[in-house]
Each structure stands twice: as C-alpha cells, then as structure tokens.
C-alpha cells in the first residue's frame, strides 16, 4: 500500500469519526436547536422575518375607508412616537387601494381618487420617515372586497411592480381562488417575489384552510392559521386556541399568524386587550396594530408599548409559547426564551377572579430550581421562588412573567 493511499484512508477514517461525533452532538442538542439548523436549509430564501414583524395595518379599523392621507398621518405618528423605536416599523395598506381594473398593459394601478399620488410616491414618503411599507394582494382573481384585481396569472408582473414601487411587505389573501390549490398559488407568488430584485416580507393570508403551518415555511415568512379576528373577547379566545395547535412550526423566518391586533378599537376592556396583546406576544405572532393610532388613548399606547412584553415576542430563540395546563377556563401558557429563561402566562378565561398556579413540572423546570420572577406588567421582581408560581387573576385578565433560574 502506497503512502498516498494510506493518507487517503486515514483522512476517510477521520471524516467518518468526525461525522459520528457531529451527529452525536446534533442528536444531543435541544430540539429547538436542531429545528433551527434544519430550518435554515428549508426556509424561504429572502432571509427576512428572523423575529415576528411589527407594525400597523389599515384593515381592522378602516377596512375600505382608506386613503393616502390616512397612511401618511399614520406614518407620521408612528415615526414621531416611541412606537417606531420599539420595532413597529411596517405601515401596511390592506384591501381597496387599487382601481377595479388593470391598465392597458396589465399593471395594477392605485385608485385615482383615494391614492392620487400613486403607491411609489407614498412608499417614498413612508421610507423618508425611517419606516417600511406593506401592501395587499390576493392569490385569486379578485380581492376579498371585490374592488381590486387579484394576482392569479399576474404573479411575476405584480411582484415586479411591487419591487419597483419600493414595497417591503406583501399580505397575500385567499379570496376568489377558483378552488385552485393554495400551495400552487402561493408558491407562484413566492418565486415571483424572490425574482423581483427586492426583499419583500411575504405574509400568506390563507386562513389556515390547508394547514399552511406544515408547508408554508419553505415559501413565506408568516402564514395565517385562523379566520379573521373580531374586536370581541370570544374571537381572541378562539383564535388563541386555534393558533396554539401549530406552535411547533413557528421559528425564525416563519411565524404562525392568528391575525392582527384589535387593541384600542373599543370592543373589549383594557384587561381583555392586555390579555390579547400578551398572548400574541407569547405566541410569537406578528404584532400589527389595528387601531387608529392618531386618536388612540394613553392606555392603548401603554399596552402596545410594553417593552418587556415586546421583548418576549422578539426573543431571538423564536420558540412559540403554548398552552401547557387548562382547567375550567384557568390556563397556564409557557415557553422558553434566550438565556435558559421561561416566560409564563397565567390566563383567566372565566367570569370570576381565581387563583392560578404554574408548577415547575408544567413549564419544564426541575422541581428544585430556584428562579427570579419578573412581572412584565407591574414591572417588579420577586427573588428566590421555588417549585411553583401562584397568582390571583381577574376575570378575562392575565399575569405574565419571565422566570430566570438562579445559580445554586
């Protein structure tokens, strides 16, 4: 056997040993870490959405009653308030911004009455405020309002137009789809966006009809897991349960979306809005404000501006918190965040105040673990807590904590 062959054999043996060693490390790694490694190979190639998007969307409050002045004034407020510094950077125009028909070249055209300056001019204005702009489209032949053309058959042309306008975010709805499979329709726009020459966050608004959590990560950055939200307590409760089912599929680059925030629109109490916001943050849902920020109350601004709750949503670990205990409308939700910490939500869905307990066994901690407890709404810290965490929680309210294990 020549020296060259012996050298080659030695290298091969070393490679096998190294491979076994690396495989062992991977197998021993926490499941969330293995999932992240896999996700980088599987995810959409735009490299956006490493944390859930934050911003504002026009639909929940304005629906079709939008115009460029509303968008500009919203951008002005977000940029001049603390909202932009907290991460609310997308200003998203929903349905009804375009003319009912395309132009002679097949292009989408902004409504001449409500958006007379055009989308490119509006995008330039929003960008001048240090913000990003989003727009709405549909994977069918018409949008849900029936007031705009859909993009079916025009995916490449529309994606190029969005890029030319300077669009940063596309919400892509699911109406009037002629029963064509969603994977086919949504994949076409994904490829068109990637080929457009601009990085555009891709939000699939498929309503969870075909279980997009199981396949959409390869083509988009977020996917609706539910139908539309309403400014009602029952809606928040229902959507939280529906979204919880898909918790394991959320990860950096792709997020479960139980629809936009209703905080501040007037249909719920402040305690209910606080629960709504806390749950969406824990579930790593997109935090898209849905009220008229120009006239919102100080309490609404306070809820939306809670830096400690936002930090949970934006945690780089990217693991969606989930329901771990439920009995008679009293629930414990929890999930890991960076630094071996655990976020815990005690949620009272019932009609009377009640005591709720999270045992360490419920939330993945050893019974002997001593933690420091941080209350994210009252902003105080409780040292040296062991075994369980109990609190009295008002009806439709929640308590939200971050638990930090202490060295022993």
Short-list 314, 334, 312, 316, CA closest to 324: 334
Six token digits for residue 119: 């989308």
Whole-number Å distance between alpha carbons of 223 and 243: 11
The angle formed by the CA atoms of residues 8, 9 and 12, to the nearest 5 degrees, is 90
Q: Is the distance from CB of 212 to CB of 255 less than 8 angstroms? A: no
- Which residue in the list 124, 211, 228, 375 is annotated as catalytic? 228
315 is catalytic: no
- Which residue in the list 94, 168, 173, 257 is annotated as catalytic? 173
What residues are paired with 390 via a beta bridge? 357
- Phi and psi torsions of 370, nearest 5°: -100, 130
228 is catalytic: yes
Short-list 89, 38, 83, 91, CA closest to 302: 83
Q: How many CB atoms lie within 10 A of CB 272?
A: 21
Residue whose token pair is 């959320």:
250
Written as one string, the DSSP assignment of 29-43 is: S-HHHHHHHHHHHHS
**Ramachandran class of 387: left when φ > 0, alpha when ψ lies in -120 to 50, beta otherwise:** left
Catalytic residue IDs: 173, 228
């Amino acid at each position: 056997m020549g020296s060259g062959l012996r050298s080659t054999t030695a290298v091969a043996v070393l490679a096998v040993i190294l491979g076994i060693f690396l495989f062992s490390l991977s197998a021993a790694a926490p499941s969330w870490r293995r999932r992240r490694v896999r996700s980088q190979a599987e995810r959409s190639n735009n490299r956006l959405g490493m944390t859930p998007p934050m911003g504002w969307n026009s639909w929940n409050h304005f629906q079709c009653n939008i115009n460029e002045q509303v968008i500009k004034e919203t951008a002005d407020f977000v940029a001049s308030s603390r909202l932009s510094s907290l991460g609310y950077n997308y200003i998203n125009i929903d349905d009804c911004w375009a003319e009912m028909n395309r132009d002679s070249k097949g292009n989408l055209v902004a409504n001449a009455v409500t958006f007379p300056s055009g989308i490119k001019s509006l995008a330039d204005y929003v960008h001048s405020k240090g913000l990003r702009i989003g727009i709405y489209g549909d994977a069918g032949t018409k949008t849900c309002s029936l007031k705009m053309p859909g993009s079916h058959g025009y995916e490449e042309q529309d994606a190029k137009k969005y890029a030319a306008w300077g669009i940063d975010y596309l919400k892509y709805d699911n109406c009037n789809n002629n029963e064509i499979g969603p994977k086919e329709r949504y994949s076409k726009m994904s490829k068109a966006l990637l080929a457009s020459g601009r990085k555009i966050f891709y939000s699939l608004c498929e309503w969870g009809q075909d279980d997009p959590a199981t396949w959409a990560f390869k083509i988009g950055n977020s996917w609706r897991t539910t139908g539309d939200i309403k400014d009602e307590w029952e809606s928040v409760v229902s959507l939280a349960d529906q979204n919880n089912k898909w918790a394991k599929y959320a990860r950096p680059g792709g997020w479960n979306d139980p629809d936009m925030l209703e905080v501040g629109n007037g249909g719920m109490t402040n305690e209910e809005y606080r629960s709504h916001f806390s749950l969406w943050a824990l579930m790593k849902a997109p935090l898209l404000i849905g009220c008229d920020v120009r006239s919102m109350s100080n309490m609404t601004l306070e809820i939306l501006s809670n830096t400690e709750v936002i930090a949970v949503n934006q945690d780089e670990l990217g693991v969606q918190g989930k329901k771990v205990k439920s009995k008679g409308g009293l629930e414990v939700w929890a999930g890991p965040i960076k630094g071996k910490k655990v976020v815990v939500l005690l949620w009272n869905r019932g009609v009377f105040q009640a005591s709720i307990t999270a045992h360490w066994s419920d939330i993945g901690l050893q019974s002997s673990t001593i933690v420091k407890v941080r209350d994210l709404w009252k902003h105080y810290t409780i040292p040296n807590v062991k075994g369980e965490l109990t609190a009295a929680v008002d009806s439709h309210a929640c308590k939200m904590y971050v638990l930090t294990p202490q060295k022993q």
